């Protein structure tokens, strides 16, 4: 027992210099890429070149999906109210949850449990069908085949990281199509979940990878909102349907 209230294995100070996971920060900034540093701080060890390349692709894939993405919309509306950049970006991050960006976490949990508990993709699909539940990481409003998924699979395969988790994800995709009669494609969240599992990351970090990638896009959107647009965005009354009671009098 050290008698101290806080303990962490991430960063320590030696002779006044920060050491991250045991590596001297002043050497890291000269020798590592940002992606390598992210891998290190999350996993505790340095990635090899192939792992760094695949993680870099994952982060780029998450960087921005347009103004219409909920986290971006929220961040820009907040920015239009005159708050600091950090506040607006934080509101965008706060919008990332189970229904937006959270599918990575839930899909990774499923993939890792299949391996750890010896389950089969068919069993997962049948259970979801029985409970009338969606399997996170599959299906898309626009795509029958998500082009980002194909691109990430290609990067993973090129770097020797197309392993059992990606195969599990693709098998679930095939089983889903047989079960429901239409293709529910492995989407960007699902393939990201499979790849972080291939690299040995805990499923609990799923949202974290999305947040790390998306923050750069949020900063860009907030800056653009602050420098190009007029203050205070409002929802048009034409877009709001009131379905409450008609005007009435308070009792005397």
Conformational region of residue 233, where left means phi above 0, alpha means psi within -120 to 50, and beta covers everything else: beta
What is the side-by-side order of every strand in the sheet holding 23-24?
11-14, 17-20, 23-24
Comparing 83-87, 141-145, 174-178, 215-219, the range with the smallest average pLDDT is 141-145
Full-model pTM: 0.92
Question: Are the beta carbons of 195 and 154 closer than 8 angstroms?
Answer: no
Residue 144 is predicted with a pLDDT of 86
pLDDT score of 1 more than 70: no
- Give me the residue spans of the domains in the chain: 11-47, 103-204
57-82 burial by CB neighbour count: b if 16+ within 10 A, else e? bbbbbbebbeeebebbbbbbbbbbee
Closest CA to 201 of 50, 59, 42: 42
Closest CA to 104 of 229, 233, 195: 195
What mean pLDDT, rounded, does the chain reach?
95
- The class (CATH top level) of 103-204 is mainly alpha
Q: What is the pLDDT of residues 39-59, one digit of tens each?
A: 999 999 999 999 999 999 999
Displacement of CA 122 from its chain's centroid (Å): 26
Please give the angle made by the CA atoms of 19, 25 and 27, to the nearest 5 degrees: 125
Question: Are the beta carbons of 114 and 166 closer than 8 angstroms?
Answer: no
Q: Confidence class of residue 91 from pLDDT cuts 50, 70 and 90?
A: very high
Q: Confidence class of residue 192 from pLDDT cuts 50, 70 and 90?
A: very high
Residue 99 is predicted with a pLDDT of 86
Residue 129 is predicted with a pLDDT of 87
Residue 18 is predicted with a pLDDT of 98
Residue 130 is predicted with a pLDDT of 82
Question: Are the beta carbons of 76 and 67 closer than 8 angstroms?
Answer: yes
pLDDT score of 101 more than 90: no
Q: What is the pLDDT of residues 109-158, one digit of tens each?
A: 999 999 999 989 999 999 988 888 899 999 988 888 999 999 999 999 99
Residues 143, 151: Cα–Cα separation, whole Å: 14
Q: What is the pLDDT of residues 232-252, one digit of tens each?
A: 999 899 999 999 999 999 998
Residue 57 is predicted with a pLDDT of 98
Tokens 């005007």 locate to: 247
H or E, element range at 37:
helix 34-43
> H helices of 118-187, where?
121-130, 147-158, 164-180
Alpha carbon dihedral 88, 90, 94, 96, in 10-degree steps, equals: 90
How many separate helices (H) and strands (E) can be counted in the chain?
11, 3
Q: What is the pLDDT of residues 197-217, one digit of tens each?
A: 999 999 999 999 999 999 999
Alpha carbons within 13 A on the beta-carbon side of 124: 27
Question: Are the beta carbons of 71 and 96 closer than 8 angstroms?
Answer: yes
* Mean pLDDT across 27-48: 98
pLDDT score of 187 more than 90: yes
Residue 2 is predicted with a pLDDT of 62
């Amino acid at each position: 027992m050290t008698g101290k209230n806080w303990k962490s294995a991430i960063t320590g100070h030696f002779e006044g210099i920060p050491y991250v996971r045991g590596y001297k920060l002043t050497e890291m900034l000269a020798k590592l890429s940002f992606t390598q540093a992210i891998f290190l701080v999350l996993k505790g060890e340095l990635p090899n070149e192939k792992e760094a390349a695949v993680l870099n692709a994952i982060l780029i894939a998450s960087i921005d999906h347009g103004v219409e993405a909920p986290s971006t919309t929220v961040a820009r509306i907040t920015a239009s109210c005159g708050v600091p950049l950090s506040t607006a970006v934080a509101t965008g991050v706060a919008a990332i949850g189970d229904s937006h960006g959270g599918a990575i976490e839930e899909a990774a949990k499923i993939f890792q449990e299949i391996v750890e508990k010896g389950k089969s993709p068919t069993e997962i699909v049948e259970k979801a069908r029985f409970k009338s539940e969606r399997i996170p990481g599959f299906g898309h409003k626009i795509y029958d085949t998500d082009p980002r998924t194909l691109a990430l699979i290609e990067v993973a395969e090129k770097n020797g990281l197309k392993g059992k988790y990606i195969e599990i994800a693709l098998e679930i995709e095939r089983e889903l199509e047989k079960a429901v009669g239409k293709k529910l494609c492995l989407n960007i969240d699902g393939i990201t979940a499979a790849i972080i599992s291939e690299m040995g990351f805990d499923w609990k970090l799923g949202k974290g990878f999305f947040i790390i990638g998306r923050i750069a896009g949020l900063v860009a959107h907030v800056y653009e909102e602050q420098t190009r647009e007029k203050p205070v965005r409002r929802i048009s009354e034409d877009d709001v349907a009131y379905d409450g009671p008609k005007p009435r009098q308070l009792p005397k």
